[in-house]
Chain A
Amino acid sequence: DGGITQSPKYLFRKEGQNVTLSCEQNLNHDAMYWYRQDPGQGLRLIYYSQIVNDFQKGDIAEGYSVSREKKESFPLTVTSAQKNPTAFYLCASSTDGQGLPRDQYFGPGTRLLVL
């Protein structure tokens, strides 16, 4: 089946630890995105990538890093610099029609908790 997978479903981080969230898609989409969702809130964009080996900061990139070495994969690292990382993290992908993301498809999400 075509879709987006995220792992793990739940992730626990200790103080000062870097953790990496996985996102894989087999939809052959060019663009991929990472969003953060806090309880009762909307989604905020962390990073996005339109092509392999290129990515741009979103609205809340501080304390996060990404890579895009393969079209199918867009991992997100939550660094120790992110002081309030507890949130629900969603990965998405889309075709990149005319420079705008159409029909974004979302993965099931990863819930990150700080111990």
Chain B
Amino acid sequence: GIQVEQSPPDLILQEGANSTLRCNFSDSVNNLQWFHQNPWGQLINLFYIPSGTKQNGRLSATTVATERYSLLYISSSQTTDSGVYFCAVGKKAAGNKLTFGGGTRVLVKP
């Protein structure tokens, strides 16, 4: 199956700092999503981005499908950005399912 690797595994930021999270995947994909899991376990979909660039407020994401990676940018980080960020990918030929990476755990300090 598809392998998904996220880096770094842990990230500590001072409030107001910018950061970049990376997701590498081992095969071509038709679907790529970024999620945020808050400290209480709730997952929120941030972006559906199999290719190209999208922005939503202080968050933006870029996927370079031909080179099999995606980046999530957090600008002017806030304490509410703390949690775990997951990248998940899907390939139509592999059935209707997503494969998740191990996540990047982010802590934003005030």
Contacts and interface: CB of A to CB of B under 8 A. Distances in A.
Interface of A: 31, 33, 35, 41-45, 48, 50, 56, 58-59, 88, 90, 92, 96, 98-106, 108-109
Contacts of B97: 33, 45, 48, 58-59, 101
Interface in B4-36: 4, 30-31, 33, 35
B96 A99 contact: yes
A79 to B, nearest CB: 22
Given A42-B101, A45-B98, A102 B48 contact: yes
A17 B85 CA distance: 34
Contacts of A88: 41
B99 to A, nearest CB: 8
On chain B, which size bracket covers the interface? Answer: 20 to 34
A100 B35 CA distance: 17
Given A45-B98, A99-B96, A101-B90, A109 B42 contact: yes
B96 A43 contact: no
B1 A59 contact: yes
Contacts of A43: 86, 88, 100
A42 B86 contact: yes
A96 B90 CA distance: 13
Contact of A42 (B31, B42, B90, B102): B102
Contacts of A102: 31, 48
